[in-house]
Amino acid sequence: MVAPLAIGQVELADGRFVHGFVCEPLALEGADDISEHGGWRAYQAQRAALVGE
């Protein structure tokens, strides 16, 4: 795995911590926050609907 990706501790909604993919903060500059979509697939579907794909 290459930077900016890494495996680290991720906190779940129920407060537990599990191993998961994390990203170095520097790589997030200028990135869109897709949290409200609930995941990558939902974000992609919403984008496709906006551009009529």
**pLDDT at site 17:** 98
| Digit-coded pLDDT (tens) for 5-45 | 999 999 999 999 999 999 999 998 999 899 999 999 999 99
Q: What is the pLDDT of residue 52?
A: 76
Q: Is the pLDDT of residue 53 over 70?
A: no
26 backbone φψ class: left, alpha, beta (φ>0; ψ -120 to 50): alpha
Domain coordinates in residue numbering, the chain: 5-51
Nearest CA-CA partner of 26 in 8, 10, 3, 7: 3
**Residue 22: its pLDDT value, please?**
94
In the predicted model, is pLDDT for residue 51 greater than 90? no
